[in-house]
Amino acid sequence: MMKGDIDKKLQQKNIKPTAMRELVYGVLDKNRKALSLYEIEQQFDNVDRSTIFRTLKTFQDNLLIHSVDDGSGAVKYALCDDDCTCSLDDLHYHFLCTKCGQTHCLKNIPIPAVDLPEGFNFENANFVIKGTCPNCQG
């Protein structure tokens, strides 16, 4: 994705483009899978981890990315669709490959509806399928 396109995506979410924000967005866009802070950090030379974390927090606060707790021990981050509001309607499954550790968003599998008992309020949910990805099979 070109710098101008990245800047446009950031501005659509009311995020001021900076060099670091452009770089982090570029890494997430290029990989098209959920990445941990460590995996993102490995893409750069001499970048402070806290700077990357603050960038991810800004992206998450502005609904540009969502976080995934896939049970691997590290929170991972993936780009949201353009129309995502991070609401119940945007929930989707994630697939964690038990061989390579990569996590992928599976957006075309319907999430079953859950009616919570009275007095219970929904905040968040994680739907993780574990198995072997196509690259690790064979």
The residue that leads in pLDDT, 83 or 104, is 104
Nearest to 51 by CA among 88, 23, 30: 23
Q: Is 84 annotated as a binding residue?
A: no
In this prediction, residue 86 carries a pLDDT of: 66
Residue 92 — very low, low, confident or very high, per pLDDT cuts 50/70/90?
Answer: confident
Task: In whole angstroms, give the CA distance from residue 28 to residue 23.
Answer: 9
- The string of pLDDT tens digits covering residues 21-77 is 999 999 999 998 899 999 999 999 989 999 999 999 999 999 899 888 888 889 999
Q: Which amino acid is it at 136?
A: C
Residue 126: φ, ψ to 5°:
-120, 130
- The string of pLDDT tens digits covering residues 76-90 is 999 987 777 666 667
Residue 115 — very low, low, confident or very high, per pLDDT cuts 50/70/90?
Answer: confident
Domain boundaries, the chain: 3-131
Q: Is 86 annotated as a binding residue?
A: no
Q: What is the pTM of this model?
A: 0.79
Residue 62: φ, ψ to 5°:
-105, 15
Sign of CA dihedral 31, 37, 43, 48: positive
Sign of CA dihedral 75, 77, 102, 3: negative
Average pLDDT score over residue span 119-129: 86
As a CATH number, domain 3-131 is: 1.10.10.10
Residue 8: φ, ψ to 5°:
-65, -45
Q: Is 80 annotated as a binding residue?
A: no
SS3 132: coil
Contact 1, 29 (CB under 8 A): yes
In this prediction, residue 97 carries a pLDDT of: 93
